[in-house]
């Protein structure tokens, strides 16, 4: 009888530990942070295909996104898919793409995170030389790999409601573990 009791107690403790761990995971996943995988080359060289990131879901409850933040958001044409892009402009900013450069509020955007030879082409939404004002509760977000990125230049503004969070930590591949820096 003692062996049966010990086995039952072991199984009970195992189930209890699993339920506690699962509860902690659900709370962290829903409210604090979430893993995401980089799919595609739109953020090269900053983030590359198949890397894994943690997305902070708390920061933007305390502050609004700012230029330079790398964000994860629901894709505009398919909200079941997440995009990872860099914030280029925030509400009230005037944005233009001209002669291969990005201008925010009339000043050329300094983009140290891009290779010096990288140019920014216009798109269907943000055409060459056209200026747009970013509306309230919206952002403009571009991929760092401008020639291979579906972003605000083509489909317009990112509503705040679509933002999942701020990419902040790369945990795979192991040799690249560390902070994902914004600007």
- Predicted confidence (pLDDT) per residue in 4-28, tens digit: 888 888 888 888 888 887 777 676 6
Return the closest-CA partner of residue 60 out of 31, 23, 36: 31
- At residue 60, the 3 state secondary structure works out as helix
Residue 180 CB burial class (10 angstroms; 0-12, 13-18, ≥19):
buried
**What is the reported pLDDT for 118?**
86
Residue 98 sits at the vertex; the CA angle it makes with 92 and 99, to the nearest 5 degrees, is: 155
As annotated, the active-site residues are 42, 85
**What is the reported pLDDT for 14?**
87
Return the closest-CA partner of residue 37 out of 72, 75, 80, 87: 72
74 near 164, Cβ under 8 Å? yes
The answer on pLDDT for 183 being more than 60 is: no
Whether the upstream peptide bond of residue 173 has omega within 30° of 0, thus cis, is yes
Nearest-angstrom CA–CA distance, 75 and 154: 12
Nearest-angstrom CA–CA distance, 52 and 58: 19
pLDDT, tens only, 131-176: 999 999 999 999 999 999 999 999 999 999 999 999 999 999 989 9
Domains of the chain (ranges plus CATH)?
35-179 (2.10.109.10)
Is the entire prediction scored with pTM above 0.85? no
Return the closest-CA partner of residue 53 out of 182, 166, 183, 175: 166
pLDDT, tens only, 92-123: 999 999 999 999 999 999 998 888 888 999 99
The answer on pLDDT for 29 being more than 90 is: no
Tokens found for residue 124: 């269907």
Neighbours of 168 (CB within 10 A): 17
Number of H-type helices and E-type strands within the chain: 3, 12
């Amino acid at each position: 009888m003692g062996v049966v009791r010990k086995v039952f107690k072991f199984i009970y403790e195992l189930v209890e530990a699993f339920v506690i761990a699962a509860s902690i995971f659900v709370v962290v996943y829903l409210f604090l942070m979430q893993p995401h995988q980089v799919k595609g080359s739109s953020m090269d060289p900053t983030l590359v295909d198949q890397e894994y990131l943690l997305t902070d879901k708390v920061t933007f409850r305390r502050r609004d996104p700012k230029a330079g933040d790398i964000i994860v958001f629901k894709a505009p044409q398919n909200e079941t898919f997440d995009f990872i892009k860099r914030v280029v402009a925030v509400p009230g900013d005037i944005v233009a793409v001209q002669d291969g450069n990005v201008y925010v509020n009339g000043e050329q955007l300094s983009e140290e995170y891009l290779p010096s030879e990288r140019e920014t082409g216009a798109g269907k939404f943000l055409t060459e030389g056209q200026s747009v004002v970013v509306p309230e509760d919206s952002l403009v977000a571009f991929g760092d790999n401008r020639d291979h990125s579906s972003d605000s230049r083509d489909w317009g503004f990112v509503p705040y409601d679509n933002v999942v969070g701020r990419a902040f930590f790369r945990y795979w591949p192991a040799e690249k573990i560390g902070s994902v820096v914004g600007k």
